[in-house]
Structure 1
Amino acid sequence: MSTAQSVLQEVFGYDQFRGPQAAIVDHVIAGGDALVLMPTGGGKSLCYQVPAIVRQQQGRGVAIVVSPLIALMHDQVGALHEAGVGAAFLNSTLSYEQTQEVELRLQTGDITLLYAAPERLNTPRFLGLLDSLYEAGQLSLFAIDEAHCVSQWGHDFRPEYRALSVLHERYAGVPRIALTATADALTRADIVERLQLEEAQQFVSSFDRPNIRYTIVEKKDATAQLQRFIQSEHQGEAGVVYCQSRKRVEELAQTLQNCGISALPYHAGLPADTRQHHQDRFLREEGIVMCATIAFGMGIDKPDVRFVAHVDMPKNIEGYYQETGRAGRDGLPAHAWMAYGLNDVVNQRRMIDESPAEETFKQVMRGKLDALLALAEATDCRRQRLLGYFGEDSTPCGNCDNCLHPPAVWDGTDAARKLLSTIYRVHEASQLTFGTGHIMDVLRGKDTEKVRQFGHDSLSTFGLGAQYSEAQLRGVLRQLLATGALGLHKVTSDSGHSFDTLALTPGSRAVLRGEAQVLLREATASAPKRTRKAPQANVAALNLGPDAQVRFINLKAWRAEVAREHNLPAYVIFHDATLAAIAERDPASLEELNGIPGMGAKKFDAYGAEVLRVCQMAQ
């Protein structure tokens, strides 16, 4: 057994590395730089934790882990302590005395992995510590987690990550491993350039998360739709709901609470202690639904999040993939659900157009948004579209909404041509601009006061689309905006108010000439009704027999007590999958606990006897 394999088994309790982990670990142990793209839940942390332990055993000192979130540092250090690994963090939660204690441990070789935020790493004091370790040959490696933060093309750009190029310039010969769960080719190239990883070996895993079911629904009443989704499919289970605005977060959390769902709000405008309290509850309690802006999420290690929902559309596929990837980190079935409508398209385009960024940057952002719009409008396999964006070929998954319930498709080319013609004629006739509702009224031949006031009932296209419903025409509008065949034009009224109006684009020409076909999914009159589902047994224990279920429940209760004593989330003690494996094996002796995934040597010594006692309680 190799040294790395031995560490994996004895410290972390796993028999085999997964996927490319072994190759990455060997490469970094040997002193090589690496860029690792691995999906959430794929085991990125082990790719630097195992090399850090091995290289320290070889006398090479401490590994420095650059991590962007305090909560993540706390939980990962706690998990390493539980596994018997010397770990610490330096961040703003420590007092001066505690910081001095960590720095002393660092200098005496008592720490295997030290976690620090990128802001701290570039302070003179911290660089001075690194300089002394480097001169003594006691810097084993640098791990840069969430490496996409270095790229302006990434979905979570953080300028302070740019300064991490100092690691290559100042500490030559110390291996660096940059890790992220998502980066398209453009973002990947930017990471390589910004972190000076041109010589690094790239390890790109499959982006596929087969345990996640992707569902995108037409937005009608997003709050009611979300409520039905949770109550019918994920009652009593942990989930994250993403919203665009802080106000929406608070309103939605309150609405869910009012209908009996344990929901909490989280956004950057809340007091820091409130945010921390809500995050702690989400991590430590079961069945909490967190309603949040994107201020919440990165680095959340909770493995049993059963769903991630978007009531507003994200900015791009990278953000969508990163956020949905927080569901089902334990590899068990999970759900990514999104409600999407015309206003989402308008709002996202407006944010790009009104940003102070250079036009080149805006063009890239529009392209990324277009890819997400195409995913939302797709009538074929969602997963194929998603993986294709990251350059990965695949076959229909059989597990997304389009595969499970293929949508009816209609040819909207005629409706699109008539809609574009109406927009042109309405604006040309009045030399004024009008909203989407009025445009659709004209096309459908509705006799409204506004139509008569401006004489639009005399236009050649008035009533030409009477056979189309408003829902159908809204679908056509979304598709035209998604493909660039229709644009938005900002108009300022005499009173100084700004608003967006529909405008033809160069891309409109092909549709008007009948050269481009517009295929759309049939708009449904209402969402199918689902009956409320009672909370189901823990997903990890679904296949256990009755006696094993009892052992599993007892083990979870015991784990909760231990977690409270240690002030850690329960999954840091043991994952649900480990408890399920113990419950199924029904060990009669300590020896029979050996080899259970997640049962490392330190945890065996610390908890083995107690685990055995709890299992025997059910006899």
Structure 2
Amino acid sequence: MPAVASPETATDQTTEPLRVLRRVFGYDSFRGTQQEIIDHVVAGGDALVLMPTGGGKSLCYQVPALVRPGVGIVVSPLIALMQDQVDALGALGVRAGFLNSTQSYPQRRDTEDAYLNGELDLLYLAPERLRLDSTLELLARGEVAVFAIDEAHCVAQWGHDFRPDYLALSVLHERWPDVPRIALTATATPATRQEIATRLQLTEARHFVSDFDRPNIQYRIAPKSDARRQLLQLLQTEHLGESGIVYRLSRAEVERTAEFLTANGVTALPYHAGLDKAVRAKHQSRFLREDGLVMVATIAFGMGIDKPDVRFVAHLDLPKSIEGYYQETGRAGRDGLPSTAWMAYGLQDVVQQRKLIDNSEGDEAHRRTQSRHLDSMLALCETVKCRRSQLLDYFGQPDSSPCGNCDTCLNPPESWDGTVAAQKLLSTVVRLQRERNQKFGAGQIIDILRGKKTSKVEQFRHDELSVFGVGADISDNEWRGVIRQLLAQSLLAVEGDYGTLVLTDTSSEVLRREEPRQVWLRTEPSKKPAAKAKARDSKRVPQDMPPEVEPVFQKLRAWRMEVAREEGKAPFIIFHDSTLRQIATVAPSTLDELATISGVGEGKLNRYGQGVLDALAAPEE
């Protein structure tokens, strides 16, 4: 497989950014802060860019690489995806190559020669290659236009995607002080942003923080009962035959969930670090190239996935942090079309995550940081307010207006005064510890509160406690909700390998006799169906095509799949669904008319334009 993509037309390195955007990428205008970022980098300035997944980060370094003299060097941790990135650029007529450990010596030599001879516009490198003197010497022999450090949050030492090799990337500034650097990420709090700037020696760089909102994604979090069955219902009722990603915490659950979906008629593949490397590569390739395939994975999968038509991302286990959750859910709907971010969450998730933190590597400060991340994630799960507003606020973008397109907006939950229930539960924990010197998990404490004379209750004579049966008016499921929310509010904690419940420093505020702290709890949601989505600004969420255009769109997709198979590429590299939808709606009859469609640049027009027109003109079968 070649490492260099040959262009259809030579790239004019002196063309201004807007002309490059139109001619190469087929877009008439930049989005959001793209032009400001690009102008800054083209002029030689360093930049730290925060932009949500699907916001167009890649253009922020690709356009400067095409405008400035020399080759754009892209540092990316995504070895498995470099070929697809090079293929996508090649389809645009951009000369691109990569250097990584998957290549043979002749392939590496050909790419190095192309770089030295000025035959590349962009060169992708894995961060570990920049630790090699030979790589640094190679770059020094050519002309570098810009350094792009993609997935820059990987430098954050206690972050969710830490890569040690990123810590050595400060060498770029030391060796090439006059070459602009642009670091990009989709997820970073203000504190993480500062850590990125410090570790990459970008403290003097200009920061660009884009709007984090992805209005086309509908955020929903459901109480977990039978997670796999709940997922199957979601897919069968809302996303039948559509591509999506399902995240599980453990490798075993990845395998079980993939098997369960396959047995129930959903084409699903597993992906985790325990699989053979060749199997992982095959599954990833199928996900990128096939329509309607579901990937069940650990968080080892997904970073840098450019597949635009992922219609849903589902979490069947609680993510460790909002940063991780936001980045993972952001892999849905990169084409801007309506998509779903769905999670099933329960009490056991909280217990499991607390246990992972207690047993994690790192010092006490690290564990406190991890606990804060989990607390923020729990607060998002338990909120009665708009989930999108809470997400945006976490990333330093306050937005108090309800979004109209999350579950708490579409089906507002009720809250109730749970002070007495909290007192009963906390009192049970107190009596077990003080009167019996015992600690138990949620199940036993609920049995005591409910007044159940189980064998375990009788064995420990817990029916003799004064709190036995005081919570019989609340169901088991409701008590689990109370415990879950007390954990989220830090009024209760779990400890040890068995997840026993213990008091916290703030528990006494609820238990005191005089003016106890009031505890408001979220009511478990009803089973009624969610209201129909109504975004706060309908112009921000792309509407679907007219029904009469659907057959034309499907005809174009069939043509695209045939071309993709012939060229061995992912279908979206040919054209995104959003571009095909526009073509189907406009129905151009000439190449000049086709050239006006967003996403049809000069390279794609030359390569695929006539094929599109022939597909449109072909009679219906």
TM-score, normalised relative to structure 1: 0.93
Please tell me whether the aligned partners of residues 253 and 264 of structure 1 are also in contact (alpha carbons under 8 angstroms).
yes
Distance 2:608 2:437 in 1: 77
Change (3 A) 1:204 1:446: same
Deviations 1:369-388 (A, max 9, x none): 10000000111111111111
User: Is 1:357 matched with 2:362?
Assistant: yes
Please tell me whether the aligned partners of residues 254 and 296 of structure 2 are also in contact (alpha carbons under 8 angstroms).
yes
Distance 1:384 1:482 in 2: 19
| Equivalent position of 2:61 in the other structure | 48
Please tell me whether the aligned partners of residues 413 and 524 of structure 2 are also in contact (alpha carbons under 8 angstroms).
no
Tell me the secondary structure at the aligned position of residue 471 of structure 2: coil
| Equivalent position of 2:545 in the other structure | 543
| Equivalent position of 1:416 in the other structure | 422
Distance 1:191 1:199 in 2: 12
Deviation at 1:166, TM superposition (A): 0.6
| Equivalent position of 1:170 in the other structure | 175
Equivalent residues in 2 for 1:34-433, closer than 5 Å: 34-55=47-68, 60-133=69-142, 138-394=143-399, 395-433=401-439
Instruction: Compare 508-517 and 410-419 and name the one that shifted more.
Output: 508-517
Deviation at 1:124, TM superposition (A): 1.4
Deviation at 1:525, TM superposition (A): 7.8
| Equivalent position of 2:506 in the other structure | 507
Tell me the secondary structure at the aligned position of residue 475 of structure 1: helix
Deviation at 1:183, TM superposition (A): 0.4
Tell me the secondary structure at the aligned position of residue 564 of structure 2: helix
Tell me the secondary structure at the aligned position of residue 287 of structure 1: coil
Tell me the secondary structure at the aligned position of residue 44 of structure 1: coil
| Equivalent position of 1:562 in the other structure | 563
Distance 1:426 1:453 in 2: 14
Residue 322 of structure 2 aligns with an amino acid whose one-letter code is: I
Distance 1:158 1:113 in 2: 23
Please tell me whether the aligned partners of residues 266 and 293 of structure 1 are also in contact (alpha carbons under 8 angstroms).
yes
Residue 42 of structure 1 aligns with an amino acid whose one-letter code is: G
Deviation at 1:602, TM superposition (A): 1.2
Instruction: Compare 327-336 and 403-412 and name the one that shifted more.
Output: 403-412
| Equivalent position of 1:534 in the other structure | none
Distance 1:243 1:76 in 2: 27
Please tell me whether the aligned partners of residues 320 and 374 of structure 2 are also in contact (alpha carbons under 8 angstroms).
yes
Please tell me whether the aligned partners of residues 212 and 334 of structure 1 are also in contact (alpha carbons under 8 angstroms).
yes
| Equivalent position of 2:453 in the other structure | 447
Distance 1:94 1:262 in 2: 31
Residue 124 of structure 2 aligns with an amino acid whose one-letter code is: Y
Distance 1:588 1:21 in 2: 32
Distance 1:432 1:611 in 2: 72
Residue 167 of structure 1 aligns with an amino acid whose one-letter code is: L
Residue 480 of structure 1 aligns with an amino acid whose one-letter code is: L
| Dislocated runs of 4+, deviation >6 Å | 525-530
Deviation at 1:211, TM superposition (A): 0.3
Distance 1:398 1:94 in 2: 49
Please tell me whether the aligned partners of residues 550 and 618 of structure 1 are also in contact (alpha carbons under 8 angstroms).
no
Please tell me whether the aligned partners of residues 219 and 340 of structure 1 are also in contact (alpha carbons under 8 angstroms).
yes
TM-score, normalised relative to structure 2: 0.93
| Equivalent position of 2:30 in the other structure | 17
Residue 130 of structure 2 aligns with an amino acid whose one-letter code is: L
Residue 508 of structure 2 aligns with an amino acid whose one-letter code is: R
Distance 2:365 2:409 in 1: 37
Tell me the secondary structure at the aligned position of residue 273 of structure 1: helix
Deviations 1:13-46 (A, max 9, x none): 0000000000000000000000000000000000
Please tell me whether the aligned partners of residues 153 and 186 of structure 1 are also in contact (alpha carbons under 8 angstroms).
no
Tell me the secondary structure at the aligned position of residue 278 of structure 2: helix
Distance 1:441 1:475 in 2: 15
Residue 312 of structure 2 aligns with an amino acid whose one-letter code is: F
Tell me the secondary structure at the aligned position of residue 447 of structure 2: helix
Please tell me whether the aligned partners of residues 355 and 495 of structure 2 are also in contact (alpha carbons under 8 angstroms).
no
Please tell me whether the aligned partners of residues 89 and 116 of structure 1 are also in contact (alpha carbons under 8 angstroms).
yes
Residue 452 of structure 2 aligns with an amino acid whose one-letter code is: K
Distance 2:335 2:110 in 1: 35
Please tell me whether the aligned partners of residues 354 and 495 of structure 2 are also in contact (alpha carbons under 8 angstroms).
no
Please tell me whether the aligned partners of residues 284 and 568 of structure 1 are also in contact (alpha carbons under 8 angstroms).
yes
| Equivalent position of 2:594 in the other structure | 593
Change (3 A) 1:511 1:618: farther
Residue 519 of structure 1 aligns with an amino acid whose one-letter code is: W
Deviation at 1:520, TM superposition (A): 2.1
Cα root mean square deviation, aligned: 1.8
Please tell me whether the aligned partners of residues 154 and 183 of structure 1 are also in contact (alpha carbons under 8 angstroms).
no
Distance 1:92 1:604 in 2: 34
| Equivalent position of 2:618 in the other structure | 617
Deviation at 1:61, TM superposition (A): 1.0
Distance 1:208 1:435 in 2: 39
Deviations 1:514-558 (A, max 9, x none): 54332222235868699xxxxxxxx98942352x33322222111
Please tell me whether the aligned partners of residues 541 and 552 of structure 1 are also in contact (alpha carbons under 8 angstroms).
no
Long gaps (5+) in structure 2: 1-13, 532-540
Long gaps (5+) in structure 1: 491-497, 531-538
Please tell me whether the aligned partners of residues 282 and 288 of structure 1 are also in contact (alpha carbons under 8 angstroms).
yes
Instruction: Compare 272-281 and 311-320 and name the one that shifted more.
Output: 272-281
Change (3 A) 1:545 1:405: closer
Tell me the secondary structure at the aligned position of residue 336 of structure 1: strand
Please tell me whether the aligned partners of residues 150 and 159 of structure 1 are also in contact (alpha carbons under 8 angstroms).
yes
Residue 184 of structure 1 aligns with an amino acid whose one-letter code is: T
| Equivalent position of 1:483 in the other structure | 489
Please tell me whether the aligned partners of residues 430 and 454 of structure 1 are also in contact (alpha carbons under 8 angstroms).
no
Please tell me whether the aligned partners of residues 265 and 292 of structure 1 are also in contact (alpha carbons under 8 angstroms).
yes
Distance 2:543 2:277 in 1: 36
Deviation at 1:459, TM superposition (A): 2.0
| Equivalent position of 1:578 in the other structure | 579
Distance 1:527 1:163 in 2: 53
Residue 252 of structure 1 aligns with an amino acid whose one-letter code is: T
Distance 2:234 2:530 in 1: 10
